[in-house]
Amino acid sequence: MPGSVYTSLARKMATHEGRVYPLHVGDTWMEPAIGCRMEDLSERDWPGLHRYAQPQGRPDLREAIARRTSERMGLATDAGEVLVAAGATGALGAMAGAIIEPGDEVLILAPYWPLIAGIVRSFGGQPVPVPFLGQVSSAAEGLEAVEAYANDRTIALYLNTPNNPTGRLLERAWIEALVDWSRDRDLWLIADEVYEDYVYAGEHTYTRPLAPERTFSTHSFSKAFGMAGNRCGYIVGPEEVIKEVRKVSTHTFYSTPTASQVAALRALEIADAWIANARERYAALGRFTAERLGVEPPSGSAFLFLDVVDRLDDRGLGGFLEDAADRGLFLSPGTSFGPYPTHVRICFTAAEPALIHEGVELLAELMGR
Amino acid sequence: MPGSVYTSLARKMATHEGRVYPLHVGDTWMEPAIGCRMEDLSERDWPGLHRYAQPQGRPDLREAIARRTSERMGLATDAGEVLVAAGATGALGAMAGAIIEPGDEVLILAPYWPLIAGIVRSFGGQPVPVPFLGQVSSAAEGLEAVEAYANDRTIALYLNTPNNPTGRLLERAWIEALVDWSRDRDLWLIADEVYEDYVYAGEHTYTRPLAPERTFSTHSFSKAFGMAGNRCGYIVGPEEVIKEVRKVSTHTFYSTPTASQVAALRALEIADAWIANARERYAALGRFTAERLGVEPPSGSAFLFLDVVDRLDDRGLGGFLEDAADRGLFLSPGTSFGPYPTHVRICFTAAEPALIHEGVELLAELMGR
């Protein structure tokens, strides 16, 4: 997408009169659970709240994460295999710094979360998108897809399920096939599972229990508990390599904010009901959105990826985005997620439900639905 | 220092019975100013407190930083020249990612803040320590020192004033000479000024006004306002390059924690008196420490760097550190700060003044003072 279109969209967003529908942002309108908000945290209850935490994360938080991970994955997990990081982004950045040498290639199942490509590039690696979600319809086809893009510079395979931007899950059989293939080729597996708690149909498959010796899995308090501004997530992987990841994280953000870690710990203790409620509300919004737009409802995550090819004119996707922006509706271009110049992504949890309803209505009109 | 010594020290720290004097940590015992603590921040007053902030930083905070920087440096500074980051560490990490190509060398005036060497290495660069503070006694000698270590792979010069670990300031005439030399060689200047507010004798010299076209200066709410756990700092530099720095920061921690940015904004608005009070208390602790140990009082920062060569036995520095640890006193080894195998660093603000007094007393005994 040309910079001029971004500039034009940014200007429209800054100057739009009337309601704005920020469906391009991957966030939630919900506030964190009571007891997990900044105003709930004090030095009195949490000595050292404003001082450095351990670079690998507070011991109490890492222990709590290890317990939750052991349960969820059905794989005994030790705190030494856990690194708390400045969001899953910080975790993936540090992981990339630890495993990538300049020239290394990383296969990325597409469409993909946009930052992963830049993260790989930040450390001299080459992201290699593999068209996959929505294009592959069996485990065998999945293997053909990755095989076609692999070579002897390939060091890792990145997958994201529940998927941002498509709202789809990777099926267990497909993941199992990809794991076997990665083991044969001695590749790292990077399983980005930040939407693990937001599954509306089918079942989330954890990659790590299938290959704990080569899998990094990343998780997010931002997404799970509605605290993206806190910048706290984590990565779980083989202890010896997590030590290397920690060296990079120490040199890129040092430690994860102490108050954010405390908020995360509290969330693990008291906010499972918050997740259950959010899941129900997100699912309803996803169903409404899909139905109004005439597409399949999302199986997970907070997104839908829509092909608008039949509504594009000679201005291409940029024109579609500008027309939407003229109505106060902001969307993400498909090109941010891989080679998808006729798609847009919307986040159906980015604003209050009433705003989502109105924004989806506007989009339906633009899509002629 | 062998890993076995670290392991032994860590074990002693975990199992020590009785009081612990953590003089190895670079932090403060003081709580942030009232009004700038997490418990003071609420969604009601600060909508979006738990949601993503802009990757470059909140506009209100960047504006406030630009105004403060303009005043302090006497150089008109625009918000576009400011990037808010996950601590000065995050700022320096992202800056390194933006300017370093593998094989590039960065001159580092030594003794230096330990993380800078790893930051340079994280992006494939080579840190080149230049023995300087305490070893150079004129601008001309300073130039000789850097000239001896520069070559055609050198791309930048890092300086830290007020200095961690020595507690010294770089004199204006020296900095002016280094700036001219860097301009002649077309090098970047990286001025780490996180202790700018903590000067007890002499005057802090800002590097950036002398060469705004090639200087990055880094600053810290952690150090200025006692909120290291919040992970919020900033970097100021040429706008075009700050855009490149932002690309790296977006891929290593995405954005700086929102609540931490709000705390920083509040601190700029209401906490200058907190700094004045902290400065007085830090200065008194620095004077006490220096006097008791028989060394020159610190001119700035929160540290003293002590040569203990006449107290070492055949166990070397590790033995000295272990003897200290047996008394509950923890110190940083000089080898973390460059080629200083007979030095230790202490932070005289790391704990309550009463603890500092006792810890310094223990150290004085160990040093035979």
How many angstroms separate the CA atoms of A160 and A167, rounded? Answer: 10
Whether residue A43 and residue B52 make contact (CB cut-off 8 A), yes or no, is no
Q: For residue B19, what are the domain limits? A: 3-26+273-366
**pLDDT of res. A1:** 65
Question: Does residue B335 share a domain with residue B259?
Answer: no
- Residue A143 belongs to some domain of the structure: yes
Q: What is the CATH number of the domain that holds B95?
A: 3.40.640.10
In a domain, B316, yes or no: yes
DSSP state of B36: S
Residue A31 lies in a domain: no
- The predicted structure's pLDDT at residue B42: 97
B305 shares its domain with B349: yes
State whether A360 and A283 are in the same domain. yes
Is residue B33 in a domain?
Answer: no
- The dihedral built from the CA positions of residue A84, A85, A87 and A92, taken in this order, carries a sign that is negative
For residue A47, which residues of chain B lie inside 8 Å, CB to CB? Answer: none
pLDDT by residue for chain A (369 residues), tens only, comes to 667 777 888 888 888 889 999 999 999 999 999 999 999 999 999 999 999 999 999 999 999 999 999 999 999 999 999 999 999 999 999 999 999 999 999 999 999 999 999 999 999 999 999 999 999 999 999 999 999 999 999 999 999 999 999 999 999 999 999 999 999 999 999 999 999 999 999 999 999 999 999 999 999 999 999 999 999 999 999 999 999 999 999 999 999 999 999 999 999 999 999 999 999 999 999 999 999 999 999 999 999 999 999 999 999 999 999 999 999 999 999 999 999 999 999 999 999 999 999 999 999 999 999
Q: Based on the fold, state whether residues B88 and B210 are members of the same structural domain.
A: yes
Residues A262, A121 share a domain: yes
Residue A254 forms contact with B (CB below 8 Å): yes
Chain B, 1-30: which have a CB under 8 Å from a chain A CB?
A: 25, 27-28
For chain B (length 369 residues), average pLDDT per consecutive 10?
77 88 95 97 97 96 98 98 97 97 97 96 96 95 98 98 98 98 98 98 98 98 96 98 96 96 98 98 98 98 98 96 96 96 97 97 97
Interface contact flag, A251 B53, Cβ < 8 Å = no
Are residues A80 and A115 part of one domain? yes
Shared domain for A296 and A348, answered yes or no, is: yes
Determine whether the interchain pair B51/A229 forms a contact, defined as Cβ–Cβ distance below 8 Å. yes
- Where is the domain boundary, A223, A240, A270? A270
Max intra-chain CA distance, chain A:
62
User: Which H helix or E strand runs over A304?
Assistant: strand A303-307
pLDDT of B1: 65
Nearest to B38 among A102, A247, A259 (CB): A259
Of B226, B255, B270, the residue at which a domain comes to its end is: B270
- B66 and B203 housed in the same domain: yes
Nearest by CB to B51, which of A27, A257, A258? A27
Cα–Cα dist B289/B347, whole Å: 10
- Locate the chain B residue with the closest alpha carbon to A119: B251
Q: Are A159 and A170 in contact (CB under 8 A)?
A: yes
The answer as to whether A329 is a domain residue is yes
pLDDT at A188: 98
**Total number of domains constituting chain B:** 2
CB contact under 8 A, A43 and B43: no
Interface of B with A in 125-164 (CB under 8 A): none
Which residues of chain B form beta strands (DSSP E)?
A: 21-22, 82-85, 105-110, 126-131, 154-160, 188-192, 215-220, 233-236, 303-307, 329-330, 332-333, 343-347
The residue from B233, B252, B270 where one domain ends is B270
> Does one domain contain both B251 and B318?
no
User: To the nearest whole angstrom, how far is the Cα of A195 from the nearest Cα of chain B?
Assistant: 16
Q: Is there a domain that residue B306 lies in?
A: yes
- Name A70's Cβ contacts closer than 8 Å, sequence gap at least 6: A76, A77
Alpha-helix runs per DSSP H in B30-185: 59-73, 87-99, 115-122, 139-149, 172-185
Residue A2 pLDDT: 66
Considering the domain architecture, whether residues B163 and B260 belong to the same structural domain is answered as yes
Contact A28, A349 (CB under 8 A): yes
The half-sphere exposure of B210 on its side-chain side, counting CA atoms within 13 A, is 20
Task: Please give the distance of CA B221 from its chain centroid, rounded to a whole number.
Answer: 11
Q: Would residue A278 count as lying in a domain?
A: yes
> Closest approach of chain B CAs to the CA of A119, in angstroms?
5
Can you tell me the distance from the alpha carbon of B252 to that of A233, in angstroms, rounded to the nearest whole number?
13
Which of A 187-246 lie inside 8 A of B, CB atoms?
226-231
Residue B140, in any domain of the structure: yes
Do A265 and A302 fall within a single domain?
A: no
Mutate to test the interface with B, among A46, A240, A251 (most CBs of B within 10 A): A251
- B171: tokens are 């004199």
* DSSP-derived 3-state class of residue A217: strand
The CATH code of the domain that includes A306 is 3.90.1150.10
Q: What is the DSSP string of B200-227?
A: SSS----SGGG-TTTEEEEEEHHHHHT-
Inter-CA distances, B41 with A36, B99, B272, Å: 13, 36, 19
Q: Closest partner residue to B90 among A115, A118, A252, by Cβ?
A: A252
Mutation target to probe the A interface, by most A beta carbons within 10 A, among B30, B83, B92, B231 is B231
**Cα distance from B224 to chain A (closest Cα, Å)?**
13
C-alpha–C-alpha distance, residues B41 and A310, integer Å = 48
Same domain, A286 and A243: no
